[in-house]
Amino acid sequence: MTKRLIILLLAGGLIPALAQKGQGKMGGAGLGPTPPPVAAKSVKAAPGASSPTTGASNMSASQRLANNPSLSTRLQPLLPAGATIATASAGFRNQGQFIAALHVSRNLSIPFSQLQAKLTGSKPESLGRAIHDLRPALGKRAVRQDVRVAERQAERDIDTTRLASQLSANPTLAARAQALLPAGTSLKTAASGFASERQFLLAEHVAHDLKVPFTQLKAKITGTDPVSLKSAVRALRPDLGSSTVKADLKMARQETTIDLQSAGEPVQRASR
């Protein structure tokens, strides 16, 4: 290319245009500023629509209890005279907090209306703070213990009604569980306090196989200070050696698995 031709190309702007065109394809560093990214358009959810993380988890205590008549019935005796589940649960963050407050009211003889005001007012307090305010004579350690007890009672209430519903919905499993109980024992009452079908059936088999009173075994496993099934058996049958206890628990787990499989229920690994 002659010197004259180069001068003409520069003057006509052809080389800068080609350079700019090449930059668009390569986009490498040092070839000029990178164009700013295009901002993504925000999408607004339709009115009333809920995201995957909302929905049932955002239901109020009143809504959840309205959909759970078994739990509402169980809680009715804990309510103040003349109160309803709907009015008593109004304003609580969730049903667990509400149920724990009911138990604190009963356990410590605190008027429920006072607790409700502390927990659901314009400046809501924690359950521990509310107890401290209403029972200032109690020390911090006692308050923490009272909260733990009430929360465990609330968990048992929720688990009990859930387990009772599961058992009643599966006649085969209910029949197997009933057959392991002492005569005259209500299945619903016996299942109260257990966290799962498997835990309940496992305790039934252990009590049946080792001739341990079911009520005593249940008290150890589901009480305010629950222990493992192995610890409960050792406490109630100190005459049994470690190897015997281990073998008996293994047999009970196998029997429980057979019960669940026969009833078409999912089989999960048992806790020790």
Ordered by start, the domain boundaries in the chain are 60-158, 170-262
> CA-CA distance, 90 to 75, in Å (whole number)?
15
**228-258 tens-digit pLDDT:** 999 999 999 999 999 999 999 999 999 999 9
Closest by CA to 196, choosing from 160, 230, 225, 233, is: 160
**8-57 tens-digit pLDDT:** 444 454 444 444 444 443 333 333 444 444 443 333 333 333 333 334 45
Structure tokens belonging to residue 117:
């005001």
Q: What confidence score (pLDDT) does residue 124 get?
A: 94
**58-78 tens-digit pLDDT:** 677 888 888 788 788 889 999
pLDDT > 90: what percent of the chain? 54
CB 146 within 8 A of CB 131: yes
Report the amino acid identity of residue 233.
V
> CA-CA distance, 138 to 141, in Å (whole number)?
8
Q: What confidence score (pLDDT) does residue 161 get?
A: 79
pTM for the whole thing?
Answer: 0.55
Closest by CA to 96, choosing from 36, 154, 12, is: 154
Closest by CA to 68, choosing from 80, 51, 86, is: 86
> CA-CA distance, 13 to 4, in Å (whole number)?
15
The pLDDT-based confidence of 195 (bands split at 50, 70, 90) is confident
**125-181 tens-digit pLDDT:** 999 999 999 999 999 999 999 999 999 889 888 877 788 778 888 999 999 999 999
269 phi and psi, to 5 degrees?
Answer: -65, 135
**77-130 tens-digit pLDDT:** 999 999 999 999 999 989 999 999 999 999 999 999 999 999 999 999 999 999
Return the biggest CA–CA distance within the chain: 114
Structure tokens belonging to residue 29:
């560093």
